[in-house]
Amino acid sequence: MAGYARSTTSVALSVWKALFLREAVSRVSAGRAAWVWMLLEPIVHVVFLMLLFTLVRLRVITGAETAIWLLVGLTSFFTARNIYTRGMEALNANQALFAYRQVLPVDTVLVRGALEAFLGVIVALLLLAGAGLFGFQVIPHDPLAVLAGLAGMCLCGLGLGLILSVASDLVPELGRIAQLLFTPLYFLSGVIFPLTVVPVQYREWLFYNPFSHGLELLRGGFFPLYPVAPEANFAYLFGFAVAVVFLGLAMHVRYADRLRAK
C-alpha cells in the first residue's frame, strides 16, 4: 500500500525473526554432527565426572542424585557459556548484514543469546527426559526457582556477550583473554563440586562470581534436600545481570557507528 510506514517495533521484530532463523539454520547445520554434539557434550562430561567421583569415592552429593546434580549444573553452565562466547563473536559473523540500515549490531548479539538459551533448554529437557527413562527423579522440587536461576545465568551471559562483543571489536586481544576466562569459571562456579565443601573464608570469594549464585539456587530449586550455600541469593544474581546488560547496551549505543563501519 502506498504511503504505508512500518513502526520501529514491527521492523525490529521482523529483523529479529529473520536473524533468529538464519542463526538457527547456521547453528544446527554447522556440521553433520552439530545436533549430536549439543547432546553429547554434557553427557561426556557427566560420565567422565561420575567415573572420577567413583575413583575418589565421592559417589553421593548430599541431598541430590549425583548424575542429575551434574547434568543440571553442566547443561545450565554450558548454556550460559554459549550465550557469552557466541554473542561475543556475533559482530564478526554478521558484519555483511550491517549494510542494511534495519540491522543493528546489537540485534545480532541479542538474537544469538536468545537462540542459545532456547537450544540450551531443549537440550536440557531432552537429557532429563532420557534420564527419567532410566529411573532417575527428574521433576524439580521448585520449578520457578530452577527457571529463575537459569534465567539469571542466561542474562549474565548475555550481558557479558554484549560487553565483550564491543570490547573485542575495539581491542581484539580482549576477546582472546575473555575466551580463556571461562575455563577457570568452569571450576570456580561449582559446576563439578558443591560449593559448601569450600571453607567459608574462601567460599566468600567464589560468590563474587554470579554463576556460583545461579548454579546453587538452581540446584536448590531442583533438589528439596540439597544444602544451598548461604551466600547464594537471587538479588546478587539479577543485580549483576541487570548491570552487565545495561552496560553492554550502553556500549552498543555509544559505538554503533564504529561497529557498522568496521
The predicted pLDDT at position 51 comes to 74
Q: With a cut of 70, say whether residue 31 has pLDDT above it.
A: no
The predicted pLDDT at position 1 comes to 45
pLDDT average, residue stretch 212-228:
94
Q: With a cut of 90, say whether residue 209 has pLDDT above it.
A: yes
For 48, what's the count of Cα atoms within 13 Å in the CB-facing half-sphere? 8
Name which of 84, 212, 70, 50 is nearest 127 in CA terms. 70
Residue 210, C-alpha cell as written in the block = 554470579
pLDDT average, residue stretch 98-112:
90
* pLDDT, tens only, 113-166: 999 999 999 989 988 998 899 888 899 999 999 999 999 999 999 999 999 999
Per-residue pLDDT band at 95 (split at 50, 70, 90)? confident
Report whether 131 contacts 68 (CB < 8 A).
Answer: yes
Per-residue pLDDT band at 60 (split at 50, 70, 90)? low
The predicted pLDDT at position 244 comes to 97
pTM of the model: 0.90
Burial of 201 per CB tally in 10 Å (0-12, 13-18, 19+): exposed
Report whether 215 contacts 190 (CB < 8 A).
Answer: yes
Cα of first residue to Cα of last residue in the chain, in angstroms, is 36
DSSP reduced 3-state for 205: helix
Mean pLDDT lowest among 154-158, 169-173, 244-248, 258-262: 258-262
The residue written with cell numbers 533468529 in the block is: 20
Report whether 95 contacts 8 (CB < 8 A).
Answer: no
For 185, what's the count of Cα atoms within 13 Å in the CB-facing half-sphere? 22
Average pLDDT over the chain reads 86
Q: With a cut of 80, say whether residue 58 has pLDDT above it.
A: no
Name which of 37, 47, 39, 54 is nearest 70 in CA terms. 47
The residue written with cell numbers 582472546 in the block is: 176
The residue written with cell numbers 557507528 in the block is: 257
pLDDT average, residue stretch 14-41:
77
- Greatest mean pLDDT range, 17-26, 56-65, 122-131, 206-215: 206-215
The predicted pLDDT at position 3 comes to 46
DSSP reduced 3-state for 64: strand
